[in-house]
Amino acid sequence: MSETERKRQKNVGPRSGQCIPVRVTVEEKEHIKRTARQVRLPVSALLRKLALGYEPPSMIDLDTLSTLTRLRGDFGRLGGLLKLWLVDAPGRAVPETEVRAAFDTILTKQGELSSLIIAIENATGD
């Protein structure tokens, strides 16, 4: 088999032989490669899909989304408790220990949320 015949057989298929040169910086190339690895696609497939309107899957996994949903619910419940104490039952004396415990819980949840946001930012490279 001649060299020309081998080249013809190698470039077979709907995308054979069609190339669009794109110039990027070293940093951009690394970022593109990293993104392709994160969405588990070859670089050429990622670039082709993006150019044709493809949106890569979210970098936030279901576990992270579940944690965010849980934290949102926790903040809602804590807010409801504070409203009950301050607005709905103003005459009822709430022990200081309960108020302090509620605020400690709020601060803990706020820390969890901050850590989660930082983890998401690190995962997406933003």
Residues in CB range of 113: below 8 A, 6 or more apart:
68, 71
Q: Are 17 and 11 in contact (CB under 8 A)?
A: yes
CA distances to 5, 7, 9, 116, 125 from 2, rounded to whole Å, are: 5, 9, 11, 58, 47
Residue of 14 and 26 predicted with greater confidence: 26
> Looking at residue 81, what is its pLDDT?
83
> Looking at residue 24, what is its pLDDT?
94
Q: Is the pTM of this model over 0.85?
A: no
pLDDT in tens, 66-121: 888 888 888 888 888 878 877 766 667 778 788 888 888 888 888 888 888 887 77
> Looking at residue 5, what is its pLDDT?
58
> Looking at residue 67, what is its pLDDT?
83
Q: What is the largest CA-CA distance in the chain?
A: 95
Residues in CB range of 81: below 8 A, 6 or more apart:
102
Give the CA dihedral 61, 32, 126, 115, nearest 10 degrees: 40
Q: How confident is the model at residue 20 (pLDDT cuts 50, 70, 90)?
A: confident
Averaged pLDDT score across all residues of the chain: 79
pLDDT in tens, 38-68: 888 899 888 988 888 877 666 667 777 788 8
Q: Does the pLDDT value for residue 126 go beyond 60?
A: no
